[in-house]
Amino acid sequence: MLLDDADYMDRALHVAARGRGLTSPNPLVGAVVVSPDGVVVGSGYHRRAGEPHAEIHALRSAGVAARGATLFSTLEPCCHTGRTGPCVDRIVKAGVARVVIGVEDPHPQVHGEGIRFLREHGIAVTVGVREAEATRMNLPFFIHTQRGRPLVMMKVALTRDGYVAEAPGVRSAITAERAGHDSHSLRAEFDAVGVGSETVLVDDPELTARAVHRARPLTRVIFDSRLRVPPTAAIFGTRDAGPIVIVTTKVTLAGSPDRAAALEANGARLLPAQVHDVTSALMMLGSEGVTSLLLEGGPTLHAAAWRAGVVDRVRIYVSPLAFGDKGVRWFETRSTVTEALEDLDVRMVGPDERTDGYVYRND
């Protein structure tokens, strides 16, 4: 039975998701090969950077059945020789009659060239089937390629009366175990997780992805312009989990060489920015290959990122707890932030409510 293009693209999107957490800095890509009578005769996904692209896996699994078939790919097939050969050559050689693409590849070396090549070789091409889903699946890749900075997801745990901590300087448990595990799974999907210096001083977090599978090291970023974080912080005992990067300033480095040396001796890599500003820090991380950053707080750092317009996704957990009058407030009310979000997904995680949303911008 012949289904719609969108149905087969859904299948390709589903297959692409198997590479989640594995492919960075490359995008997630899935492909299916469909015979003229509508049978899926091959499928594949990109498994990790440096390995064959999804289209190649799909064509290999289809074998001779690819001749005269339609190839559905969530992303435009590449036309340049990177670590693997160009996919468009292989598609032409396989005798595919038609290619259906989820979204054009924003990479400067592709960007419509793959589509042009296929058409020039007599292949019918349809572009933009399930485009929103195909883009959202690779938001880190799109943002990093187009803006040079990582995708930023702001994550917070709030009490029902809007607090992030019981009192200033007090390490506070807000959500229950299920949400804790859920947050660790989220960390596992990101290239990096980041916090402000005050959060390290108060909570002394390890910032690892515990009790979940993580195929790659997790970069931990501390935003600490004055180098206040002590070399004895718990995070320095977890160097096996991934790099520890401290974003600071050139002025601090020059003025505090001993503090800098002590942190470096304990495994930190210092990234000195010219200016003390969250966007410059993100651009530096982007140039280091970080395509996605989970920004866990606290409120001062969240406020800086939100006001600089660099937050792309938000996750808010709200627990049934209330802290009364003495708590530390988030920088905004929950409703002010959620009103700015699209594609909201609200669900319960144990006793805590979880809201996810996106900030889409066209600038």
Among 30, 77, 299, 327, binds ligand NAP (CB under 6 A): 299
State which of positions 130-159 bind ligand NAP (CB under 6 A).
156-157
Distance CA 306, CA 247 (A): 18
Is 197 a binding residue for ligand NAP by CB under 6 A? The answer is yes
**55 catalytic residue (yes or no):** yes
- Exactly one of 51, 55, 288, 332 is catalytic; which is it? 55
9 with 102: CB under 8 angstroms? Answer: yes
Buried b (16+ CB within 10 A) or exposed e, 157-174: bbbeebbbbbeeeeebeb
Is 300 a binding residue for ligand NAP by CB under 6 A? The answer is yes
Our CB check for ligand NAP shows the closer of 116 and 307 to be 307
Residue 205 in tokens: 């977090």
229 with 222: CB under 8 angstroms? Answer: yes
* Residues 357, 189, 280: CA angle, nearest 5 degrees: 75
Distance CA 187, CA 337 (A): 21
Among 123, 152, 268, 278, binds ligand NAP (CB under 6 A): 278
User: Could you give the string, one character per residue 202-241, with x where binding to ligand NAP holds by CB under 6 A and - elsewhere?
Assistant: xx-------------------xxxx-x-------------
Distance CA 66, CA 249 (A): 55
CB of 277 to ligand NAP, least distance (A): 6
User: Could you give the string, one character per residue 157-176, with x where binding to ligand NAP holds by CB under 6 A and - elsewhere?
Assistant: x------xx--------x--
Our CB check for ligand NAP shows the closer of 19 and 196 to be 196
CB of 300 to ligand NAP, least distance (A): 3
Q: What are phi and psi of 333, to 5 degrees?
A: -75, 155
Our CB check for ligand NAP shows the closer of 150 and 297 to be 297
**Total residues at the site for ligand NAP (CB under 6 A)?**
29
Is 352 a binding residue for ligand NAP by CB under 6 A? The answer is no
Measured between alpha carbons, how far is residue 187 from residues 32, 169, 213, 295, 311 in Å? 30, 24, 10, 10, 16
Distance CA 144, CA 132 (A): 17
243 with 269: CB under 8 angstroms? Answer: yes
Interface region with ligand NAP, contact rule CB under 6 A, candidates 8-16, 41-49, 117-125, 295-303:
295-303
Could you list the active site residues?
55
User: Residues in the site for ligand NAP, rule: CB under 6 A?
Assistant: 156-157, 164-165, 174, 195-199, 202-203, 223-226, 228, 276-278, 281, 296-301, 304, 328
